[in-house]
Amino acid sequence: MSNPSRLPAGSSARQLRAERILDITADLLMAHGYRKVTIDDVAGRAGVGKGTVYLHWKTREALFWAVLQREALRLFDHLLDSLAKEPQMALPHRLMRTIFLEITQRPLVKALLLSDPTVLGNLAGDETVRSAQQELAENADYMLLLSEQGALRPGLTPEAAGYILVNVTRGFLTVDELGEDDGLSADQRADLLADVLRRALETDVPLTEEALTALNGQVIAMFAEMAQSHREQLQRSY
C-alpha cells in the first residue's frame, strides 16, 4: 500500500503541501522567532507528520531558509513586473522606493536584510543568507551598471554609491525599531528615501532614452537571474 505522504515529486498536490508548510512556518517565525519554532510545531499546525516535513526539507534550517527564499523571490517577481512596465524604475531612487514599500509589507524580507537575530537565529551568520542580503541591498553589479550608463553623480564611484545606498536605506528601515512615532506614512517615508538617494547618487543630467532603455534591460536581466536561482532551489523541495 502506498504511503500518502510520498506524493510524486513535482506533482501539484506535493507543491500545495509544501506551500502550506511554508505558510505555516512563516507565521510561526514571525510570531515566535527562530529559536522557539520546532519542526514538531510546524508539523502539528500543518496537520502532517514530522517525517512529511523532512520529505521536503532535510533540516530545520533548510525549511526556514526556504521561507526566506520564497519571500525574496516574491519581491524579485514584483520588481521584474514593475521594471517591465516602467524603464525609470531602473534608477536608484525609483527602485529603492519600490523595494522599501515592499519590505514594509514583507517583515521576513526586512528581517533578512537587517539580520534580525530573533527571526533568523543561526541563519543570521550563514553564508547563503549573507549572499541573499547582498543581492537585495548591496549589489555591486547594480552599481557598476549605473556607472557604465552614466547614471551616477560625477566623481562618485560605484563603491561609494553602494555604501551610500546601503546605509541610507538601512537607516530608513530601522527607524521603526526605535519605537518612535514620527507621524509619517510608509509612502511618505518612501518618498523621502527616494529624494535623498536621487540627490546623493544620481546625475542631474537626465539619461538619454537609449541609455535608460539599456540600463532597464540590464537590471531586468540581473533580477531575473537572481529570481531564477531562488526559484530552482525552491522547486527542488516541491
Give the model confidence (pLDDT) of 171-207 as tens digits: 999 876 655 667 889 999 999 999 999 999 999 999 9
CA 205 and chain centroid, separation? 31
CA 19 and chain centroid, separation? 18
Per-chain mean pLDDT for the chain: 89
pLDDT of residue 80: 96
CB neighbourhood size of 75 (10 A): 23
Domains for the chain: give ranges and CATH numbers.
Answer: 9-58 (1.10.10.60), 71-232 (1.10.357)
DSSP alpha helices (H): ranges in the chain? 12-32, 39-46, 50-56, 60-85, 92-104, 107-114, 117-120, 127-137, 140-148, 158-174, 186-201, 209-237
Residue 91 predicted with pLDDT over 60: yes
pLDDT of residue 11: 80
More confident residue, 115 or 79: 79
92: which 3 cell numbers?
A: 536608484
Q: Rg (Cα) of the chain, in Å, rounded?
A: 20
Average pLDDT of 91-108? 94
Instruction: Please give the Cα distance from 130 to 164 (Å, whole number).
Output: 19
Instruction: Please give the Cα distance from 210 to 87 (Å, whole number).
Output: 11
Tally of CA atoms within 13 A in the half-sphere of 147 that contains its CB? 13
* Residue from 59, 64, 83 nearest 24 by CA: 64
Three-state DSSP class for residue 222: helix
Instruction: Please give the Cα distance from 111 to 88 (Å, whole number).
Output: 28
More confident residue, 6 or 162: 162
pLDDT of residue 207: 95
CA quadruple 19, 24, 28, 34: dihedral, nearest 10: -30
Q: Which of the four pLDDT bands, split at 50, 70 and 90, describes residue 169?
A: very high
Distances (CA, A) of 25 to 48, 66, 163: 13, 10, 34
Q: Which of the four pLDDT bands, split at 50, 70 and 90, describes residue 18?
A: very high
Residue 21 predicted with pLDDT over 90: yes
Digit-coded pLDDT (tens) for 126-164: 777 777 777 776 688 999 999 999 999 999 999 999 999
More confident residue, 148 or 235: 148
Average pLDDT of 82-93? 96
pLDDT of residue 187: 95
216: which 3 cell numbers?
A: 532597464
pLDDT of residue 1: 35
Q: Is 223 exposed, middle or buried (0-12, 13-18, 19+ CB in 10 A)?
A: buried
